[in-house]
């Protein structure tokens, strides 16, 4: 007896969306379990919390393991498979999209924070935190120059493990103490992949392979095969995502201080940032996407549910990158576009971070009752944009770049501690927006580049096949 059509449709739907539903369930289950444990038991030690987060930590380590080989192979193979003019067109469209969305996010954040004014009347219990003190010992010129230094790495192998950083230190033998601008400095290496340097190297290598044509085909095949191998491993790892994100979120909630006290002291700040992220993600980006494709993005956002849930759980756009590429491949996006736009976007396109840093700087200025001019607001806009580009795609990476934005307003770096209580949660929401913006940008760039890519494909066809196409009239646009 044949099965009803409704039954077969349901089975097909479940097979297609099972992993997405499990990941979303994992997010909510992790949050619920975290709240129940926190409210029903006493304080947990750091070691006990570490035990809770251990499965999530393993999942995160597996994803991070894929970042460097996937990033280098994806960008190199994508650019190497296109000619220079086609690569430059895709790059120009992607960068234009990143620039427009980032500026829009900053302007929206500033409009909201100046309208709502969440810093007025806020009552915050100020704490001294070691991570904030460490982040405070940086200067804005050093941060900007380190960003450029990391782009032009002097050791590609070292860039897979470390980032360049200028460290400043006070000469305690001098009296009276010198201002920070006159402190001694030295080059140092900070643990973590120099993604910006790897992206730059991969772009140059891919361009070179493309110009070498037949001579570079062997290298092109190597990087294409490596990229496909990494995506195969990704398809295995993603089945752990429901478990991983659930444990990560549960551990973070247990680690929190009093939730009620945090909401009471930073409630309006939290609402302002969340409102900004929501309006940008489902308003501004949706409008830009519609203008470019004449289609609303919400159907695509629904298909990205598993990617967005993973981004929220891990708090890292870089770690989510393999899943984003895998998901877009399944949506039929050209792999040459996906493998170029997504790694670059995960590195330099941080809309949520830019909005958050602009709001945070002006929120702290309002809390300190510091007046600021229109010129200061413009300076915050520019600095927040630059800082978001320099922020690493890892959890709470905006802490260091936030110091740079505060310096623009004339605030003390230690004021970062005022907002640190809710930073971990807002970090997950802004990472989700960052990832969504990257994915929608890839779909938009793919749409705008479709005709150009078809021309490249036709030029790469066998001449005999081209003659047949011409004879049949199929080569006309």
Domain ranges of the chain: 12-456
Q: How confident is the model at residue 468 (pLDDT cuts 50, 70, 90)?
A: very low
pLDDT of residue 324: 92
Higher per-residue confidence, 440 vs 412: 440
Residue 256 — pLDDT band, cuts 50, 70, 90? confident
In this prediction the pTM is: 0.81
The average pLDDT across 134-143 equals: 67
Task: Check whether 381 has a pLDDT greater than 60.
Answer: yes
What's the CA gap between 455 and 444, in Å, rounded? 18
For tokens 């736009």, the residue is 341
- The topology under which CATH files domain 12-456 is 1.10.3860
Q: What confidence category does residue 474 fall into, taking pLDDT thresholds of 50, 70 and 90?
A: very low
Percent of the chain with pLDDT over 90: 21
In this prediction, residues 408-413 reach a mean pLDDT of: 73
Burial class from Cβ neighbours inside 10 Å (0-12, 13-18, 19+) for residue 226 reads middle
Q: Which of 6-20, 177-191, 325-339, 456-470 has the highest mean pLDDT?
A: 325-339
Instruction: Answer whether 318's CB lies under 8 Å from 325's CB.
Output: no
Q: What is the 3-state secondary structure (H, E, C) of 116-144?
A: HCCCCCCCCCCCCCHHHHHHHCCCHHHHH
Show Cβ contacts of residue 445 under 8 Å, excluding neighbours closer than 6 positions: 90, 93, 94, 97, 337, 341
Q: What is the DSSP letter of 165?
A: E
pLDDT at 471 > cutoff 50: no
The b-or-e profile of 326-346 (16+ CB within 10 A means b, else e) is bbbbeeebbbbbbbbbbbbbb
Give pLDDT, residue 469: 41
- Name 54's Cβ contacts closer than 8 Å, sequence gap at least 6: 247
| Residue whose tokens read 């897979």 | 160
192 pLDDT tier (thresholds 50, 70, 90): confident
Q: How far apart are CA 382 and CA 408, in angstroms?
A: 10
Residues 387, 391, 395, CA angle at the centre, nearest 5°? Answer: 135
């Amino acid at each position: 007896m044949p099965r009803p059509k409704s039954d077969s449709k349901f089975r097909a739907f479940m097979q297609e969306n099972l992993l997405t539903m499990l990941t979303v369930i994992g997010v909510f289950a992790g949050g619920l379990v975290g709240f129940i444990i926190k409210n029903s038991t006493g304080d947990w030690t750091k070691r006990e919390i570490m035990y809770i987060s251990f499965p999530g930590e393993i999942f995160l380590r597996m994803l991070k393991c894929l970042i460097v080989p996937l990033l280098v192979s994806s960008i190199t193979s994508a650019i190497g498979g296109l000619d220079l003019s086609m690569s430059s067109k895709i790059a120009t469209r992607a960068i234009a999209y990143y620039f427009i969305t980032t500026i829009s996010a900053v302007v929206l954040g500033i409009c909201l924070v100046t309208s709502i004014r969440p810093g007025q009347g806020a009552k915050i219990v100020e704490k001294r935190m070691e991570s904030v003190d460490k982040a405070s010992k940086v200067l804005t010129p050093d941060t900007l120059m380190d960003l450029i230094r990391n782009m032009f790495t002097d050791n590609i192998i070292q860039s897979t493990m470390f980032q360049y950083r200028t460290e400043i230190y006070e000469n305690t033998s001098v009296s009276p103490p010198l201002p920070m601008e006159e402190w001694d400095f030295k080059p140092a290496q900070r643990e973590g992949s120099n993604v910006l340097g790897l992206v730059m190297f991969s772009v140059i290598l891919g361009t070179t392979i493309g110009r070498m044509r037949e001579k570079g085909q062997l290298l092109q095949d190597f990087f294409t095969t490596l990229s496909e191998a990494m995506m195969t491993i990704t398809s295995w790892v993603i089945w752990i995502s429901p478990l991983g994100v659930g444990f990560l979120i549960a551990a973070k909630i247990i680690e929190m201080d009093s939730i009620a006290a945090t909401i009471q002291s930073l409630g309006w700040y939290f609402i302002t940032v969340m409102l900004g992220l929501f309006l940008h993600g489902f308003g501004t980006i949706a409008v830009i996407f519609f203008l470019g494709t004449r289609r609303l993005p919400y159907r695509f956002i629904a298909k990205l549910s598993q990617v967005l849930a993973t981004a929220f759980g891990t708090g890292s756009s870089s770690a989510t990158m393999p899943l984003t590429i895998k998901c877009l491949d399944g949506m039929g996006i050209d792999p040459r576009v996906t493998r170029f736009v997504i790694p670059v976007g995960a590195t330099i396109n941080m809309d949520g971070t830019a909005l958050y840093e602009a709001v945070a700087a002006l929120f702290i200025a309002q809390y300190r009752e510091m007046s600021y001019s229109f010129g200061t607001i413009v300076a915050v806009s520019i600095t927040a944009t630059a800082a978001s580009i320099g922020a690493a795609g890892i959890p709470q990476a905006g802490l260091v770049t936030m110091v740079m934005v505060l310096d623009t307003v004339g605030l003390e770096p230690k004021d970062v501690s005022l907002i640190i209580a809710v930073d971990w949660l807002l970090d997950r929401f802004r990472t989700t927006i960052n990832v969504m913006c990257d994915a929608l940008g890839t779909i938009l760039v793919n749409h705008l580049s479709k005709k150009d890519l078809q021309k490249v494909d036709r030029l790469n066809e066998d001449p005999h096949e081209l003659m047949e196409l011409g004879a049949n009239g199929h080569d006309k646009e």
